[in-house]
Structures are given as structure tokens and as C-alpha cells.
Amino acid sequence: MATSAIGPGFLTQTALFTAQLGASFGFVILISVVLDAIAQVNIWRIICVADQPAQDIANKVMPGLGYVVSFLVFLGGMAFNIGNIAGAGLGLNVLFGITVQQGAAMSAIIAIGIFVYKEAGKAMDLFAKTLGLLKILLALFVVYISSPPIGEAALRTFVPLKFSFTAVLTIVGGTVGGYITFAGAHRLLDARITGQANLPAINRGALSAIGLASVMRVLLFIAAFGVVAAGNKLDPGNPAASVFRIAGGQYGYKLFGLAMWAAGISSVVGSAYTSVSFIKSFHPVILKFNRQVTICFIIISCIIFEIIGKPVKTLVAVGAINGFILPLSLGIMLVAAYQSKIVHHYKQPLWLTILGVAVVGTMTWMSCGAILQMMGH
């Protein structure tokens, strides 16, 4: 789940909003960590206690609702995948100087290769983990070099001067929105970590995944803030890469390109796999030709990106789109928590429900606020 969250959109959004909001972006991160944790603990617990995927639970809450959720998550996953391919293209653009479009097409071909050859997937897994570690070390290196005003960042985390609905919606959507939170919960179903006996492990998994993603978010924010606070302007064409270029010179820039590409390609594979798993039960044909459908999903995502371009705008918009999906999917899970035909003898703690309802309300309110902000622009 954490590797799915720390994709190219995550890197781009963090750099972009730090440039826009400065130290006050710390407040947005603080709110989003709280919203993320409440949403994820609720969703994972209910899916694992019910021992069923999200779409089946939604169908039991109300016949046909599972199809609506699946369709929305599938669409959100498609949006994410367009962003992931854009991010992988940006990474290759940094590494080899080819156009983002060429980089995106090459990355889509490599992602399909990973699906076709099973062994390649294992190698890719190790590669993604290694580069995930590299990303964290790189961020630490930039924090060290850019010597950011940590005191100001800490103060504005609690006393912000600026606020943006779109930023909160995008950050929450990019961390637990759409398919990402289900990617973790559905993996637990596959691993048979289900039922009430496993609730402590499920809680730990949900919180440590959010914790890992949040540590990376804070590191990136402080690194970018150091660069911005020194009076540097970020390149709007690739804001995250320019943070590393300004702080770490050409080597930092190239290493970032490698990390961005790895984040993109591993997220393409994860997003395609989880999105298609939501529509598998729609028709026996989809189940039978699961791999072919997944490959088509990657090809269509790539073609859409090649047509629309604008990689940075795509990466930011994707988080917002998936932020809109979260209140609906969380709301359905909270209703399911009180239906014994779904959760059997499980008693949902009242405080967890109250916090969950508060997140549904807050995210719905912020979605409306973000739409009004966008219309105002």
C-alpha cells in the first residue's frame, strides 16, 4: 500500500504544493495524515472481518452498489495509471533527455513485459523496494543540503498562514483514495490475514503503511521547502525533479530520474492489477482473460496520456479525482460494519465509527470546496 501511495503523483504533488503554500503545507500534511489513518483503519478492519472484497460487501449493503463502487475505483485507477505512466515518462526524460511522451510509451511496454513474464515481476519487486529506499535516502540528502528553516515549518504545521481545499483533497486522494487503500486490504485477503483474531495485525498494517507514506511525505516537504525558502523557483514542467537538481546538482537530478521512473513503473503494475481485480467478477470473460484485460488497461492508459499530455497537471488532478471517491467507499464500509450478515459477530467500536463519519463529512465538504476553488480559477 505504501509503495502504491509513494508514486510519481505523490512526489509531484508534494513539490508543487510546497511551492504554492510554503511552510503552511505542513498543516495540510498533518490534516491528511489524520484523515488517512481513520479512513484506512476503518476500511481494512471491515474488509478483513467480512473476509470479502470491497465490491462484494457493497453489493450486500445494497444490490448493485458494488458495481457502482467497482466502476468508480476502476475509473479512478485508470486516472492513476495515466498519471503513473506520465511519471515514468518524466523519469526517463530526466535520465536520457528523451521526450516525456517517448518515455511514457517505453515504460508502458516494460510494464506489459512484467505482466507477461512472471519472474520479471519478482525482480521488479526487489528493484522497486531498493529504489524506494534510495528515494528516502535521496530526500534525506536534500534535507541535509538545503538546510530548511525547520522551526518555521514546525510552527506553520500548527499555525498555517495559507490553506487549500484542493491540496488536502489531492494529498488524501493520493494516499488512500481510489484503489490504493483497497490494494492493501485486498492483499490481506489474499494472504488470509482475516477475521477478528487478526485485528491487531490488521490495525498495525494499516497504520504502519500510512506511517511509512507520511514519513516520506514529510521528508519531501522539508527538502522542497529548503529549496523554495532559499528563493529558488521550481520548474513547473517537473517540480519534484527540480528540487533535487537545485539541491543535489546533476547527480541528484539523475538519481531522482531513476527513482521517479521506478515509482512510476511499480505503480503502473500495482494500479493495473488492483483496478482490474475490481471488475473481475463482472463477467466470466474478464475473469478468463484477466491478464489480457490488464495489458489492455495499461495500453489504453498510455494512449490517453499520449493524447492529453500535461504530465504535471495529470499527476495532480489524479489525486483530486480519487479524493472524491473516498467518502463514498468509506461511507459504504461504515454502513456494512453494522450488518451482521456481512460482519457476523464483529462489534465496530463506536469511536471508530464516529471518526469515520467525520472523515466522510470532511472529505465531502472539501470535495465541494475544491470544485468551487477550481471553478473560481
Q: Between the CA of residue 183 and those of 4, 200, 265, 276, what are the distances in Å?
A: 8, 19, 16, 11
Q: How many CA atoms lie within 13 A of 145 on its CB side?
A: 19
Domains of the chain: 2-376 (1.20.1740.10)
Contact present, 73 and 182 (Cβ < 8 Å) = yes
Contact present, 19 and 268 (Cβ < 8 Å) = no
Measured between alpha carbons, how far is 377 from 374 in angstroms, rounded to an integer?
5
Residue whose C-alpha cell is 502504491: 4
Select from 371, 333, 363, 370 the least CA-distant residue to 57.
333
Select from 105, 112, 45 the least CA-distant residue to 269.
112
pLDDT tens, per residue, the chain with 377 residues:
776 777 888 888 899 999 999 999 999 999 999 999 999 999 999 999 999 989 999 999 999 999 998 888 888 888 888 989 999 999 999 999 999 999 999 999 998 888 787 666 677 667 767 777 777 888 888 889 888 999 999 999 999 999 888 888 888 887 887 778 888 888 888 889 888 989 999 999 999 989 988 988 999 999 999 999 999 999 888 898 899 899 888 888 898 898 889 888 888 887 887 788 788 777 888 878 888 888 999 999 999 999 888 888 887 777 777 778 889 999 999 999 999 999 988 999 999 999 999 999 999 888 887 777 767 65
Contact present, 216 and 139 (Cβ < 8 Å) = yes
Helix (H, G, I), strand (E, B) or coil at 309: coil
Measured between alpha carbons, how far is 73 from 305 in angstroms, rounded to an integer?
19
Select from 316, 340, 315, 355 the least CA-distant residue to 86.
315
pTM score = 0.85
Per-residue pLDDT, 377 = 58
Task: Take residue 292 and report the three cell numbers written for it.
Answer: 489480457
Alpha helix ranges (H) inside the chain:
2-5, 8-21, 25-50, 54-61, 65-96, 100-116, 118-146, 150-158, 165-176, 180-190, 199-229, 239-279, 284-288, 290-308, 311-336, 340-343, 350-376
